[in-house]
């Protein structure tokens, strides 16, 4: 009798644990993020859902890339999933990113804020504003003032008017170089964003249109 009770107790315990795992799994899936899946794995490293996680991770990564719809995020998907099921769609998605709704006046209004991530450290961009933008034979040239948590300086660069690629140019003899990689300008609703297109360094600068 005691043996039977023990087995019944053990079976009840297993069922309860399984139910808790199922609930945690459903919760992780509902959040549609790889961070949620990673958190689930920390609690259930030997989960019965382990074989499904890789598939969901790719689905969530692709969903996130489409939601953000930037060059950086599509490139990141390709690096994270080089043989991914959506890799053939990436070039078309990048080509579909529009820059036609951005004009020079939009860029010069108000101040951008953001961050520059160097991998081993990140700095906050407290303020970035274009002090001068002008067109010349090579495209668009700009001068900008940037104020970070580390220093304050003036930086020059160019913007490709066709794809709105942003290139920063710094004097190599300057001791306070920011070494910002190339990026691209985007307009999403009332938000204008400058974001890295180089996976070796993530940075973004964001501002909202003035009313």
Q: Determine the angle formed by the axes of helices 2-30 and 34-43, rounding to 10 degrees.
A: 160
104-208 to CATH, choices 3.40.390, 2.60.40, 1.20.950, 2.40.128: 2.40.128
**Separation CA 206–CA 192 (nearest Å):** 6
User: Would you give the distance in Å from CA 203 to the centre of its chain?
Assistant: 9
Domain chopping of the chain, boundaries: 2-95, 104-208
pTM of the model: 0.81
Cβ–Cβ under 8 Å, residues 152 and 87: no
**Separation CA 193–CA 141 (nearest Å):** 18
**Separation CA 149–CA 38 (nearest Å):** 31
The percent of residues above 70 in pLDDT, for the chain, comes to 89
- Positions in the chain short of pLDDT 70: 1-18, 172-175, 210-211
**Separation CA 110–CA 207 (nearest Å):** 7
**Separation CA 207–CA 111 (nearest Å):** 6
Residue 207: CB atoms within 10 A of its CB come to: 21
Cβ–Cβ under 8 Å, residues 176 and 147: no
- Using alpha carbons only, give the angle 21, 27, 30 rounded to the nearest 5 degrees: 140
Cβ–Cβ under 8 Å, residues 71 and 197: yes
- Terminal CA-CA length for the chain: 77
């Amino acid at each position: 009798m005691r043996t039977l009770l023990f087995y019944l107790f053990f079976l009840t315990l297993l069922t309860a644990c399984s139910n808790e795992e199922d609930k945690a799994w459903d919760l992780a899936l509902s959040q549609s993020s790889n961070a949620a899946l990673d958190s689930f794995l920390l609690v259930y490293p030997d989960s019965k859902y382990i074989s499904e996680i890789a598939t969901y991770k790719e689905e969530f990564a692709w969903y996130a890339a489409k939601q953000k719809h930037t060059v950086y995020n599509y490139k990141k998907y390709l690096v994270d999933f080089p043989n991914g099921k959506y890799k053939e769609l990436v070039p078309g998605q990048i080509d579909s990113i529009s820059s036609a709704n951005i004009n020079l006046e939009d860029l010069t209004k108000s101040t951008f804020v953001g961050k520059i991530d160097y991998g081993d450290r990140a700095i906050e961009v407290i303020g970035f504003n274009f002090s001068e933008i002008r067109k010349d034979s090579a495209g668009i040239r700009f001068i900008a003032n940037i104020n970070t948590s580390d220093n304050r300086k003036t930086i020059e660069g160019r913007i490709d008017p066709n794809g709105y690629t942003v290139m920063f140019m710094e004097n190599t003899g300057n001791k306070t170089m920011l070494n910002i990689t190339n990026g691209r300008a985007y307009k999403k609703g009332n938000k204008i964003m400058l974001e890295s297109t180089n996976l070796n360094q993530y940075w973004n600068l964001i501002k909202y249109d003035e009313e």
